[in-house]
Structure 1
């Protein structure tokens, strides 16, 4: 910082030179004569550029604006040299004064260079006197043209009078012909209107027939679908043909008790609209009113909350309702207003979707009920046989890396006799829930029969299955089961383990082997795990008293 201050001091007041006042022998009148003159000249030089800049900015179409700016800059530089002369009277800043003069020289030379080509352009500008002469000539030409136009107007009026007289006679004839043509035209228009109505009715009938054919095809196709997922895909493809210029969505309720609807199918160009993946039932007026609803996106009518900001011209929300149950929502969007007939098609399609989806849903529920155990929620023996047959019967020896664990509740009859069948059912439910939580996602659990529960472990060798069975057995023994304000005694299970091998190479053989292993575990004192073909000692703790 000190170096910068010293540098600045050397620039504005260097040492080693005499101030210019010494040349005037510091005679006060002479010094103030030069000071006053240079200050006044500098102020005048600063005021002239301000006037020039003000003139250029306020005046319109001023030519040679660059020359004005250069002159302003040149005059300011000259003013700075005069102020520098005042400064050098007391401070010998001759390098600063010389630099300002050099800057003035550069600007003046550049201004003169730019001024030379500007002079011919300035000389080519018309003088005010020349412009006045040209203006007078233009006024004379305008007057001559006005006189000529007046003569032409007079001649035109005379011509129009003669034409009017000739036209009057033709008008009467033309009027008679016009009346005849009008009568004939009205007849043709009446015929054309009738023909157009007939054509429109025929087109509507053809459209109605085509749409009904598509709806019938949709109904027949949905009836032969195996699942709701397949029905969703089929619906999107076929509905697109019924409403070719529209976008659409199908939403389905997650469950009977859920108010959330998820998008399961869509068609059309969704790139121009906001994609909706889910919505609440209360956000749709169609569902709340249980009738089709057309949202008014621009007017004062009701608009569904889930449609805010949509660019569509018309959106129809048709609820999918069967016997008071809200299955979902059929939403149709169009960039133009749909005809009432098309709106009716939307209602027909929605009714068909609701009926078909309800039937598929009931069919799925019946299928699930036929494959599941109502008490524990596990798969039943019927599903187990289908699963094992489809999964393992066609596999090669290398693919059959799978094991089975068969659990049986020890002294289950004693639990039923002592605490009642409700307690026995509760024990099975606790064990089923425990197994669901503690097996892999790829494992299958089913109620094999009575108090027996079988676990299928794909991709699990025999040693791993045995270890898993032992862990599950110990976990079941730790269960705390509360029944009617009291805890039941500790529940134990026996387990048999078997896997596919060269000897046990069929489903029937493996099931028989795992059943025999279970009986061996029972014979050896219960509450233990016995594995077929695995050399291990059965871990059999003392039985819990019942």
Structure 2
């Protein structure tokens, strides 16, 4: 019930009902105001009509003017005339010739001035033939009395019947309007409203499709045009939004690529900076040992998520030796054969994981989730060693870009380290060649002159002791002349080997020239020097040398021992004193040790 009350039909019905009530009320009020005027006018018209009929009946028939005939005519006419209560006929002299009986029994009987109350009297002449005596053609007069109350009741009854008929026609009108117009209007309005609701909900394809030339049809057409425009605008906006979304996605992708590029550039700059710093540090290193102490820290800085070990190829080239490590690498093999590493065999970086058939044999038991990389350290295609790396990546593998970056970094690091190690080895080789005797492997005279003066200055600065032992092979020319120079070289090598194995790490063993050797003993006195010299003399005397399948015979040496004192300020002076003592040993018969005078000297 409530939805119907809110419908357009209900509102139209209520408005029409209220309008009808207002119209009926106005009509009733107007009727009450004009009723009497209309009744009087109607009565006058009725009286005139009656007089006209009476004249027509009698005017052309003078023989009917007899009282009896007139009475009959009056009675007959009064029955035909509506609202006529009395009909009288007067002759030319004004005498009542005929008088009808009252047609309405309830008409008032009182007369006022010859006329009853509540009536209206109408007189009309009856004309006939001209009478020369009376000089008139009026043969009589008709007097008609109209009952006002009766006329009023009949008019009122007619008005009520009209109102009842109107009220009866109103439902019919409503039914006709509802079925003929209301349902069509309501249906078109509901269709338009449904389409508007669907459009508001986002269905831009909704259309009212209401046709007609009336306002509702125009409204439906306007709505469909608006919906079509909205749909077109929405599709255009959706296309623009889609294009903008694609542009934003492309911009986002470009931003990510740019950020990745910037991050990669920053990483590369950082790596290049660290590599350049590493290169400078390696170039500034004075020895291979110092360089190997620097390398692990830089490797950890460059490869933050890794651990590893550095191996160097032994001069014999039959094995690699672990010389440094960083992080916590797996495996404890300090040595392995070069054939056990794919990187050394292939001459390039090799990577593998647990379960791979190409896993290097020197790795041992590989851990899952760890990538192993071996990068050869080489220069000019000459293998120097190997950089072994372990990357703990967990369960998943590294993405392509990160893996490529890692591989490039490992390649750059191994190349840099390889070149640096080659330069250090070359530098070390050149240095050794400049300070070492190629035949005996002992330091040469040049190194002796540089080092001895430094050691003398140091000892005098800290008030320490220092001893120099000068050694010469007895009858060395005999070996050259008898067995050849190669045999002489063999003798010198053996003497050099004894000196190398009989000295401390702080001692300096040098070949002074020819068959003459010098031994510098820092922090040692005359007694220590004599003891060391005697030990060397005995070791040489115990040698049994053969060369070319021939025994070389006995070998002896003569030794002179000198130490620094307050007057000794230069290396040349100390070497001269030791040389003089050596000649004393030669003059005394060779194969002996001669030292400076000392309370503790051995006789």
Report how far residue 279 of structure 1 moved: 4.2
The alpha-carbon distance between structure 1 residues 513 and 275, as it changes in their structure 2 partners (threshold 3 A), is same
Which structure is larger by alpha-carbon Rg, 1 or 2? 2
Which residue of the other structure, out of 244, 250, 255, is the alignment partner of 1:190? 250
Report how far residue 513 of structure 1 moved: 1.0
Instruction: Supply the RMSD in Å over aligned alpha carbons.
Output: 3.2
Aligned to 1:285: 342
Which residue of the other structure, out of 368, 372, 380, is the alignment partner of 1:323? 380
Asked if the contact 1:400–1:500 (Cα under 8 Å) also holds between the matched residues in 2, the reply is no
The alpha-carbon distance between structure 1 residues 339 and 453, as it changes in their structure 2 partners (threshold 3 A), is same
Structure 2 CA distance for aligned equivalents of residues 348 and 440 of structure 1: 41
Structure 2 CA distance for aligned equivalents of residues 234 and 326 of structure 1: 21
Question: Which is strand-richer, 1 or 2?
Answer: 2
Which residue of the other structure, out of 443, 467, 485, is the alignment partner of 1:421? 485
The answer to whether structure 1 residue 302 and structure 2 residue 333 are counterparts is: no
Structure 2 CA distance for aligned equivalents of residues 364 and 433 of structure 1: 21
Asked if the contact 1:254–1:262 (Cα under 8 Å) also holds between the matched residues in 2, the reply is no
Report how far residue 363 of structure 1 moved: 0.5
The alpha-carbon distance between structure 1 residues 451 and 291, as it changes in their structure 2 partners (threshold 3 A), is same
Unaligned runs of 5+ in 1: 1-162, 540-546
Question: Which is helix-richer, 1 or 2?
Answer: 1
Report how far residue 179 of structure 1 moved: 5.3
Aligned to 2:589: 525
Report how far residue 426 of structure 1 moved: 1.9
The answer to whether structure 1 residue 314 and structure 2 residue 371 are counterparts is: yes
Asked if the contact 2:353–2:369 (Cα under 8 Å) also holds between the matched residues in 1, the reply is no
Report how far residue 506 of structure 1 moved: 4.3
The alpha-carbon distance between structure 1 residues 516 and 362, as it changes in their structure 2 partners (threshold 3 A), is same
Unaligned runs of 5+ in 2: 1-193, 205-230
Structure 1 CA distance for aligned equivalents of residues 418 and 246 of structure 2: 51
Report how far residue 421 of structure 1 moved: 1.7
Which residue of the other structure, out of 228, 244, 251, is the alignment partner of 2:311? 251
Structure 2 CA distance for aligned equivalents of residues 345 and 259 of structure 1: 27
Report 1:204-283 matches (<5 A).
Answer: 204-266=264-326, 268=327, 270=328, 277-283=334-340
Report how far residue 291 of structure 1 moved: 1.4
Q: Deviations over 1:96-135 (max 9, x none)?
A: xxxxxxxxxxxxxxxxxxxxxxxxxxxxxxxxxxxxxxxx
Instruction: State the number of aligned residues.
Output: 373
SS at match of 2:439: coil
The alpha-carbon distance between structure 1 residues 239 and 463, as it changes in their structure 2 partners (threshold 3 A), is closer
Asked if the contact 2:585–2:591 (Cα under 8 Å) also holds between the matched residues in 1, the reply is yes
The answer to whether structure 1 residue 350 and structure 2 residue 414 are counterparts is: yes
Report 1:429-444 matches (<5 A).
Answer: 429-444=493-508
Report 1:94-493 matches (<5 A).
Answer: 170-173=201-204, 176=235, 181-266=241-326, 268=327, 270=328, 277-297=334-354, 300=356, 302-307=358-363, 308-310=365-367, 312-336=369-393, 337=398, 338-396=402-460, 399-493=463-557
SS at match of 1:496: strand
TM-score by length of 1: 0.61
Q: Deviations over 1:436-475 (max 9, x none)?
A: 3344454332111211112223333213422432343243
Aligned to 2:154: none
Q: Tell me whether 322-331 or 392-401 shows the greater mean CA deviation.
A: 392-401
The alpha-carbon distance between structure 1 residues 250 and 385, as it changes in their structure 2 partners (threshold 3 A), is same
Structure 2 CA distance for aligned equivalents of residues 178 and 469 of structure 1: 103
Asked if the contact 1:261–1:280 (Cα under 8 Å) also holds between the matched residues in 2, the reply is no
Structure 2 CA distance for aligned equivalents of residues 372 and 320 of structure 1: 27
Structure 2 CA distance for aligned equivalents of residues 195 and 232 of structure 1: 42
Q: Deviations over 1:51-98 (max 9, x none)?
A: xxxxxxxxxxxxxxxxxxxxxxxxxxxxxxxxxxxxxxxxxxxxxxxx
TM-score by length of 2: 0.56
Structure 1 CA distance for aligned equivalents of residues 406 and 600 of structure 2: 74
User: Could you list the runs of 4 or more consecutive aligned residues of structure 1 that deviate by over 6 angstroms after TM superposition?
Assistant: 165-169, 535-539
Aligned to 2:131: none
